[in-house]
Amino acid sequence: MHRWSWLLGLCGVSFSAAAWQPTLSGLELLPLHVAEPVATAKAQTAAASDKGHGPAVFAVTVPLPVTLDGGVWDTPEPGVARWHTRIFSATAQNLLMVFDQFDLPAHAQLWLYDDHGSRVQGPYSRADQPGADGTLWTATVPGDTAIVELRVPATQRDAVRLTLGRIGHGFKNTRDLGSAGQCNIDTSCPLGTGWRNEMRAVVKLQIPSPLGLTVGLCSGTLVNNTAANGRPFILTANHCGITRNNAANVIAYWNFANSTCNVNSASDQQNQRGANLRTSDKTTDMALIELAQQPAASLNVYYSGWDASGNGARSGVGIHHPSGDARKISEFTIAVDQQLINLTTGGLLSTSPTVPTWRVQRWSQGATEQGSSGSGLWNQDHRLIGTLSGGAGACNGSVNNGQADYYARLDQQWVAGLQPFLDPANSGQLQLGGMNAPAAASPSAPGNDTGTTPPASGSTTDSGSGTAGGGAIDIGSLSLLLLLARRRRRQSRLNTPP
């Protein structure tokens, strides 16, 4: 029997884990680690690239070594040890952490939150494996100050191995809703009505640069495969810079969208960390990653259909995250045509191989921007036919500028490496419809569903630290269970006849 089930049975109670909440009292007494000032010019240079030249850079990394000696240990409740500290970087719009060492014992949980406790990322746990370079990157919290909080069973405190090496200093606010051009259209507006399924397949991707000097944003699409088995493949652009070394630290933000047309309300709390690069190809500007865990059922994701026949499209839409903003939709009503384009990738001066693309001559509504790179183009049959590689399309005030955008052709990406993953049985099928997440999908992604709004008291959280009745037990609840178990055993001994 699972140890949690044994405890529940021993206690004779039906238990829902108590909600973890940020600790706001006494924050001013915690050590404050201050990062070296970030030069504005350095940040602006890092961000100065167009579509097709890499992800939309929003942060630069800054060395800030912090060991366990740089924080405070205390005991917030019986049986629980807590370590916490503060991080500060002047003028930062947001912060993320880069741990050089991340080795936690079972049932430990690490959280990151702003100094108001209004934005929370976590928990990160033992299930979150560092990348190939040994680092673990977190999602962002807003502002120039962040609190790092670790909770662990007191008996396991000495087993913690945790070292912060750098921070990501965000010079652009990734939640600056409305930062995209005025002509961009929310997916909750009338234009999105017929594309409710496809929009659920679209993700915003947070990507560390291969050398770990910057952090950028691209868009991607969750795609179906002919086995319909729910493997979480995300298709994006090769020029976004995902490699086998940094894929484990890619973060996918789901449902980052305004629920009401033109009303800024998007939340970045629904995210998951970790992926593997399955295939990539420069010549077709293609990268296919597979998330480390299936998206939680509560995220209500959709696996997009696709068309690898090479037939193009008479009309359709693009769905994307321009400038990292809330999800947008753009419409084209003139048939796409084939074009070969050259990309300058990764901010380098060398020219990439020629990429075969579908040209959207102009958008009838909406546009794209940096950050839209890697997003999908759907045809009139609601099937994905390409991924955004570059172009001059943009806003000109409340309308677009009438310029073209270029989408790497999925039919060319198919023969360049997609086929074995999206048609695993080698059926020869070149067109496939989309689907909702299969019922067998895990209801949560333990240790990887790292964006959580602090739940209401009494609700169940999935933290990757063991399950009972379908929900994870946090360590605060563990102490309560152990206390109840001890009391029950003591009462049992008192009531046993000699």
Q: What is the pLDDT of residue 20?
A: 76
- Mind listing the pLDDT tens digit for each residue in 302-321? 999 999 999 999 999 999 99
Question: Is the predicted pLDDT of residue 399 greater than 70, yes or no?
Answer: yes
Query: Cβ(94)–Cβ(39) under 8 Å?
Result: no
Q: Mean pLDDT throughout 217-230?
A: 98
Q: What is the pLDDT of residue 24?
A: 87
Q: What is the pLDDT of residue 484?
A: 37
Higher-pLDDT residue of 498, 418: 418
- Mind listing the pLDDT tens digit for each residue in 357-396? 999 999 999 999 999 999 999 999 999 999 999 999 999 9
3-11 and 475-494 helices, crossing angle to 10°: 50
What's the rounded Cα separation, in Å, for the pair 197 and 100?
A: 39
Question: Is the predicted pLDDT of residue 107 greater than 90, yes or no?
Answer: yes
Considering only 131-135, 284-288, 318-322, which range has the smallest mean pLDDT? 131-135
- Which amino acid, residue 203? V
SS3 state of residue 206: strand
The distance in angstroms from the start CA to the end CA of the chain is 30
Higher-pLDDT residue of 172, 178: 172
Residue 47 binned pLDDT confidence (cut-offs 50, 70, 90): low
Task: Quote the mean pLDDT of the chain.
Answer: 84
Residue 17 binned pLDDT confidence (cut-offs 50, 70, 90): very low
Q: What is the pLDDT of residue 464?
A: 30
Instruction: Tell me how crowded residue 290 is: count the other CB atoms within 10 A of its CB.
Output: 16
Q: What is the pLDDT of residue 44?
A: 59
Question: Is the predicted pLDDT of residue 454 greater than 80, yes or no?
Answer: no
Residue 303 CB partners (closer than 8 Å, separation 6+): 201, 222, 223, 224, 230, 434, 435, 436, 437
SS3 state of residue 400: strand
Strand partners of residue 167: 62, 97
Q: Mean pLDDT throughout 198-211?
A: 97
- Mind listing the pLDDT tens digit for each residue in 161-173? 999 999 999 998 7
Residue 21 binned pLDDT confidence (cut-offs 50, 70, 90): confident
Between the alpha carbon of residue 33 and those of residues 64, 65, 66, 112, 264, the distances in Å are 8, 9, 8, 15, 33
Question: Is the predicted pLDDT of residue 453 greater than 90, yes or no?
Answer: no
pLDDT > 90 in the chain, percent: 73
Q: What is the pLDDT of residue 348?
A: 35
Question: Is the predicted pLDDT of residue 1 greater than 50, yes or no?
Answer: no
